[in-house]
Amino acid sequence: MDLPIFYSEEDEWKKVILMYDSALKEVNTKLEILNNEFKLNHQYNPIEHITSRIKTPQSIAKKLRHNNRELTVENIVKYINDVAGIRIICSFTSDIYRIADLIAAQSDVNVLKVKDYITCPKPNGYTSYHMIISVPIFLSETMINVKVEIQIRTIAMDFWASLEHKIYYKFEGNAPERIRKELKECAEIVSFLDHKMLSLNEEIKLFNPDSEMDHYREVVSETFQNMIRESYGTVVEEDIIKEEEGQEEKYGPEDKGSQSDRQEMYEELFEETVSKQPDSLEEALEKVEESKEKSKFFRFFKHNVMNEEMDKM
């Protein structure tokens, strides 16, 4: 006896939307982390803003009809690569490739396809960098890799593309030749503008007096973060903590090997600092500013953290 098959495309479509929505959240979280890192650690943030969307049913149906395919859930998942889409807007063209490399370098991101319309613009003048990636979505009983299209553009590229998109739909894809020609000329102007602004930004960097100090700060911070990297993902057992506390009470911190090594390192750093006396007023002022920077955290810690602890007592 054959059992009836209960199949509802509406229910299956809801499950598909769940997958694409989850993939958007995964990628948006990755980009948000990168964005926050740039704001915190670097003087310059390459990401201007980020938008994301699920393609509308009307757009999906139109794209399938354009490719002469039947409108089914299976065909949507199989042939439409931009159901889930994210757009990243940058300041300069160099930022585009930097962000693309950072995304591709993540261990759980699989780059499926890349279209570089910056080096090879479309015939109408469109420029952008497109990536189709997949990210793992973990469900209660399985894991599924889901596609997301990422478009990365400069502000100028996005301005041109937005206007071109409106004109395209106003004329239903059949804009007069004169308008198409002028749009192409505008695209060339946008390309020139991006190149000019990038050159100007590179020249400004050469006149930044704080660039060497900023680089020094980044190196010091990176060194410290490497020291505590493993601690982010590990748990120190209570018996180990008590054992370490017992050793400090019994022998004192100076008698422990690691403490002695650390003390020796501090003494060497102190001697090196003392030997480097400032040769000029400018150098002395720099050292004062550096000292201020070092004390900022302790002032913050004392004002915020210690006050909170006192309030709890």
Per-residue pLDDT tens over the stretch 278-301: 555 566 556 655 655 555 555 555
Claim: this prediction has a pTM higher than 0.75: no
Please determine, for residue 258, whether its predicted confidence score (pLDDT) is greater than 70: no
For 90-122, what is each residue's pLDDT tens digit? Answer: 999 999 999 999 999 999 999 999 999 999 999
CATH topology of domain 9-206: Beta Polymerase; domain 2 (3.30.460)
The first and second tokens of residue 1, run together, are: 């006896």
The answer to whether 157 and 128 are in contact (CB under 8 A) is: yes
Tokens of 307: 């006050």
Cα torsion 39, 226, 232, 257: sign? negative
- For residue range 123-170, list pLDDT tens digits in order: 989 999 999 999 999 999 999 999 999 999 999 999 999 988 888 777
Q: Take residue 203 and report the two structure tokens written for it.
A: 């020249």
Q: Do the beta carbons of residue 224 and residue 294 sit within 8 Å?
A: no
- Cα separation, 153 vs 172, whole angstroms: 25
